[in-house]
């Protein structure tokens, strides 16, 4: 793809609201969309909000510097859920990001614009961020591949934080091969996916229940015959991760929330206030629990290469769906921010609205390789 082609696609599909701004860059190279949390020299970083100064960034974030060394060009800053603090990308300031499979449904969040840019062919691949599922959820809803690498794999300097103990950057693309190549560009870590062998797969016992009809059908297809293994308690992982996120996000936003509450969307200011109301002892317990839970997750992976788990309990809900969708959307993604494990979201081989399946591994390369093997296998299956 070249920049002109990508920009034309953005214009032709303006109704998707995939971008907050489009760059004026010239040149040839891999065309990348960048979530508008990440500094790109010469472009304003909004975070999907209206509080930050409207001044262009003076320099690239380190991850963008890496991409430029690899010959990438930035097509624009992708739309997102305000300050990455939500799972729908219904942005009150820049318009709701719409799902290209059904314009009346959400794209997922918070990296909704990045997922839509990939799904609608506006770029070669896109940069997203993930704190509770923000790469994997929109990848699932939009039918693309998303990769949340192991915590700490990619430098997050020059990126507006949500929760510094959980934030990760990662790529989104149309297939695993492109995701692997993109991740190598972002991180410098080699990611070979040749000579694949069948991975040892399993399902976490007692985790998966109460899926909607489309997701249940996809889950039965891909999990049939796989053994169950004992893994860390899902609800504990979920609650610990949520507590850390709520408090760390509240700390970052507390001054603005006090001075300019009207400049936030109703859901985001509500989350910030919830975080401000949590007790210090609860946050301390959660932070102390993080390393223990991460060690437990590593031990639980002994003897297997990857777990598979639904990305979300439901397919993309309609625009305007209430807060009741937040838990089923994040039920299976948030726990793996707590464990810090690498996860690929892979589209299930189903017709209709997309359904994403998480491939959860031990190392970045093990995870990518397991996902690449499954991607090839699933091409022979259709639910």
> What phi, psi does 348 have (nearest 5°)?
-70, 155
CA distance from start to end of the chain: 32
CB neighbours of 260 closer than 8 A, spacing ≥ 6? 51
Q: Is 43 buried (19+), middle (13-18) or exposed (0-12) by CB count in 10 A?
A: buried
CA angle at residue 224 from 221 to 229, to 5 degrees? Answer: 130
* Distance in angstroms (rounded) separating the CA atoms of residues 347 and 370: 14
User: Residue 68's closest CA among 57, 58, 76, 60?
Assistant: 60
110: annotated active-site residue: yes
Q: Is the dihedral of CA 119, 120, 126, 129 positive or negative?
A: negative
**How many other C-beta atoms lie within 10 A of the C-beta of residue 12?**
12
Cβ atoms of 142 and 97 within 8 Å: the answer is no
Cβ atoms of 61 and 39 within 8 Å: the answer is yes
For residues 263, 268, 274 and 275, what is the CA-based torsion angle, rounded to 10 degrees?
-90
Catalytic residue among 23, 89, 110, 187: 110
Catalytic residue among 89, 111, 134, 165: 134
Cβ atoms of 98 and 113 within 8 Å: the answer is no
Q: Which residues pair with 92 in a beta bridge?
A: none
Cβ atoms of 38 and 57 within 8 Å: the answer is no
Token representation of residue 332: 């299976």
Cβ atoms of 346 and 166 within 8 Å: the answer is no
190: annotated active-site residue: no
129: annotated active-site residue: no
Q: Which residues pair with 145 in a beta bridge?
A: 173
Active site residues: 35, 110, 134
């Amino acid at each position: 793809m070249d920049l002109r082609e990508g920009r034309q696609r953005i214009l032709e599909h303006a109704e998707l609201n995939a971008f907050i701004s489009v760059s004026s860059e010239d040149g040839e190279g891999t065309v990348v969309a960048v979530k508008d949390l990440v500094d790109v020299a010469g472009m304003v970083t909004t975070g999907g909000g209206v509080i930050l100064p409207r001044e262009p960034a003076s320099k690239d974030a380190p991850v963008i510097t890496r991409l430029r060394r690899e010959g990438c060009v930035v097509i624009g800053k992708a739309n997102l859920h305000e300050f990455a603090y939500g799972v729908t990308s219904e942005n009150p300031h820049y318009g709701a990001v719409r799902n290209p499979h059904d314009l009346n449904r959400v794209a997922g969040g918070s990296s909704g614009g990045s997922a839509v840019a990939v799904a609608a062919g506006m770029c070669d691949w896109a940069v997203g961020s993930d704190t509770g599922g923000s790469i994997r959820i929109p990848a699932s809803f939009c039918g693309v591949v998303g990769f949340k690498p192991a915590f700490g794999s990619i430098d997050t300097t020059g990126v507006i934080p949500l929760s510094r103990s959980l934030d990760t950057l990662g790529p989104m693309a149309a297939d695993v091969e492109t995701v692997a190549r993109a991740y190598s560009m972002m991180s410098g870590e080699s990611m070979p996916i040749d000579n694949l062998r069948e991975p040892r797969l399993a399902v976490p016992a007692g985790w998966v229940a109460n899926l909607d009809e489309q997701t249940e059908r996809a889950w039965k297809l891909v999990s049939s015959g796989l053994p169950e293994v004992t893994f860390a308690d899902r609800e504990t992982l979920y609650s610990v991760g949520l507590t850390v996120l709520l408090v760390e996000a509240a700390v970052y936003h507390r001054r603005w929330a006090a001075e300019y509450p009207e400049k936030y969307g109703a859901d985001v200011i509500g989350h910030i206030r919830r975080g401000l109301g949590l007790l210090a002892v609860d946050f301390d317990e959660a932070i102390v629990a993080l390393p223990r839970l991460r060690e437990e997750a590593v031990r639980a992976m002994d003897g297997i290469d990857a777990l598979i788990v639904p990305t979300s309990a439901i397919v993309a809900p309609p625009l305007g769906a209430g807060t009741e969708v937040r838990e089923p959307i994040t039920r299976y993604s948030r726990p793996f921010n707590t464990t810090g494990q690498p996860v690929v979201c892979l589209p299930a081989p189903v017709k209709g609205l997309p359904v994403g399946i998480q491939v959860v591994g031990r190392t970045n390369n093990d995870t990518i390789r397991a996902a690449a093997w499954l991607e090839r296998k699933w091409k022979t299956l259709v639910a």
